[in-house]
Amino acid sequence: MKEEKVSINDLEANYKIAGEGPAVLILHGWGGSSDSWKKVQEILAKEGFKVVVPDLPGFGKSLTPKEPWRVSDYVNWVNFFTNYLNLNDFYLVAHSFGGQVAVKFTILHPEKVRKIVFCASVAIRPKPGLKTRIIFSVARFGNAIFSPRYLVRMKDAARNFFYILLRHRDYVKANGTMKETIKKVLEEDLLLDLPKIKKDTLIVWGEDDKLVPLKHAHIYKEKIENSKMEVFPKIGHSPHLEIPDKLAQVLIKFFKS
């Protein structure tokens, strides 16, 4: 396995590449990196695949964009990245936030994607329930409370608290422009885009996923033609870390089918 650097639009990024054969591109989730997919990458490489896993900008060893990005910015970056490595007709695997990028990428560049795998992917933003609506109402009231200059310093702490209530702990962990980036990412709902995916699709999910509940997997299955679903019992949001060997074998079977 090699670790390389690439500069795209003056932004240096890190990626890992291993193996020879049909290409597999893996897009990690928010807060993840190529390191989190190392075990799966090694298994796929030994089975005759060329596996590429970038640290998306703002994660791992890649530099952080100077300005906040939207999902479309990540899609453009992935397109430049695959052009740089001359990757075409590849298998696309996307976890969590990477799934948002993968949905738009596959729709915009279908000629590049052979098959696609959504692993506990985030692309759907369900309508807020009563609890969420109450939290947003309190948050709007809080903006007014913290508007005086002498209370402005408390505003970030209050905002972090509300994001925790909404289970968006990634926002609290993010720094600098990535805080604004995750806000832009959370604004996007790609439910209406799912039917536009016309590639053979595999949906893999942990039965006990608390971050992105299993009901999301069933929505993917319903909206995407030519899709199959594999559910891992007693597994949470990160099958690639919890059961990398089993996940890799499921991927290999799908790629070769």
Listed range (169-173, 199-203, 205-209) with the worst mean pLDDT: 169-173
Report residue 25 as tokens. 């591109």
Tell me: pLDDT of 126 over 80. no
Tell me: pLDDT of 249 over 90. yes
All CATH 3.40.50.1820 domain ranges of the chain, comma separated, are 2-125+188-256
Tell me: pLDDT of 91 over 80. yes
Mean of pLDDT over the chain: 86
CATH number of 2-125+188-256: 3.40.50.1820
Tell me: pLDDT of 2 over 60. yes
pLDDT, residue 125, reads: 75
Listed range (44-53, 185-194, 202-211) with the worst mean pLDDT: 185-194
List Cβ neighbours of 110 (8 Å cut-off, separation of 6 or more). Answer: 198, 199
Distance CA 26, CA 36 (A): 11
Q: What percent of the chain has pLDDT over 70?
A: 81
In this predicted model, what pLDDT tens digit does every residue of 129-188 receive, in sequence order? 444 344 344 444 444 444 444 444 444 444 444 444 334 454 445 567 888 898 888 889
